Amino acid sequence: MIGTAELKQFARLHVRSQNISGGESILARISDDDAWVSEWSAEGERLRAKGKLLRATSCFVMARFPYVDGVARRAALERAIETFAHWAGPRGLERVEIPVPGGRVRCWAAGLSATRPRPLVLLCGGIVSVKEQWAPALLALRRMGFAGVVAELPGVGENPLPYDADSWRMFPAVLDALAGRADVSHTYAIALSFSGHLALRCAAEDVRLRGIVTAGAPVAAFFTDLEWQRRLPAITAETLRHLIGRLPPADWALPREALTALTIPVAATISTRDEIIPPADGDALRTAIRLSWTTEHDDVHGSPHHVRQTRLWSMLAILRMHGAPVLPRLALGTALKLIRPRSAAGRDKNILPAG
């Protein structure tokens, strides 16, 4: 069972990543699981009534956090999807459905064009976040000259696919479906947390994937270190059991030789106090991948105290992977330097090619 205190602790990353105003005061009003759904949903309805659709969506997203376990969280998810659709339509975001064996994967997309196909950025969250949480980033990607598509990890949100050893195949299916409206031969993935594992696995098979940006991704030790698994936060263990009925097996681990064989750049944000991903997995990304770019924060999983830095650093990494013009890269690099705080412990690091 996931305690309310732990739910609040891990929700803060998602509150900050969605820039939810008054999030801490909402959390303070919550004393049990029933109040979790009702307080977040009530705030969502209040904001929706005022026409603040994106902010309302974020509250409904939090009401269903960390996964749908009954009628109340199912209603919150449906409200999030419906509210976001009203916000997205006037801004040129579109729903696309990807045909896959076993159903259709629903995504949000922007910048698609059959006459002027753009390079594609595929964005995917982890085991507790839905596509509506990340889809606003599509507007920034479109401004930077990319087409973008946001999908969900199998089993999360509206994704009907099972989360299993073959889940990485969803990424090629998305590229196949968008091939006529985006330059999928130049695809870059922003794959957060557990979807980073899928992207790394996909990169070994699909040459259309030209670069990966990830944060807090399990690689190998997460799946093989049983002692580490026994210490996992309840929210992680229970969500994984909800998705696959157990903790992931050891054969999901990516062999070191598979990482060393990658020829594409992989940019990774590593949290040095991550309570979900073991340090050995960050070390593997740093040392096994030949084109590894890393940034480290003295922070917990997802670096909730470094959300702005992570967002800017990730966008800058995508631009550099694609060889974008210098001026946009300089602008992002300057913004990143201005907001990056000095770590009191001196442990924040940034390794990214210049230019």
pLDDT digits (tens, 9 = 90+) for 90-141: 999 999 999 988 789 999 999 999 999 999 999 999 999 999 999 999 999 9
What pLDDT score does 350 carry?
A: 52
What pLDDT score does 278 carry?
A: 98
Q: What are phi and psi of 19, to 5 degrees?
A: 55, 50
pLDDT tens track for 259-294? 999 999 999 999 999 999 999 999 999 999 999 999
pLDDT band at residue 308 using 50, 70 and 90 as cut-offs? confident
Least confident segment among 240-244, 261-265, 335-339: 335-339
Amino acid at 119: P
Average pLDDT, the chain: 93
| Cα separations in angstroms, 342 against 29, 240, 331, 339, 349 | 33, 35, 20, 9, 10
Quick check: 16 pLDDT over 60?
yes
What pLDDT score does 193 carry?
A: 98
Determine how many CB atoms are found less than 10 A away from the CB of residue 25.
10
What pLDDT score does 341 carry?
A: 56
Determine how many CB atoms are found less than 10 A away from the CB of residue 207.
10
Percent of the chain with pLDDT over 90: 85
Beta-bridge mates of residue 96 = 107
Assign a CATH topology to domain 93-351: Rossmann fold (3.40.50)
What pLDDT score does 348 carry?
A: 43
**What is the mean pLDDT of the segment spanning 185-202?**
98
pLDDT tens track for 143-153? 999 999 999 99
Residue 174 C-alpha from the chain's centroid: 16
Quick check: 27 pLDDT over 90?
yes
Percent of the chain with pLDDT over 70: 93
Provide CB contacts within 8 A for 257, sequence distance 6+.
none
What pLDDT score does 1 carry?
A: 77
CB hemisphere CA count around 165 (13 angstroms): 7
Provide CB contacts within 8 A for 300, sequence distance 6+.
271, 273, 274, 275
What pLDDT score does 102 carry?
A: 77
Determine how many CB atoms are found less than 10 A away from the CB of residue 97.
12
**What is the mean pLDDT of the segment spanning 31-43?**
96
Place of tokens 């030790």: 221
Provide CB contacts within 8 A for 323, sequence distance 6+.
none
Which conformational region is residue 210 in: left (phi greater than 0), alpha (psi within -120 to 50 degrees), or beta? Answer: alpha
What pLDDT score does 329 carry?
A: 67
pTM of full prediction above 0.75? yes
**What is the mean pLDDT of the segment spanning 206-217?**
98
**Domain range summary for the chain, segments of one domain joined by +:** 4-84, 93-351
Place of tokens 């026409």: 51
Residue 204 C-alpha from the chain's centroid: 20
Beta-bridge mates of residue 178 = none
Which has more confidence, 353 or 167?
A: 167
DSSP 249: P
Beta-bridge mates of residue 271 = 297
Nearest Cα to 154, choosing from 197, 188, 120?
Answer: 197
Q: What are phi and psi of 257, to 5 degrees?
A: -65, -30
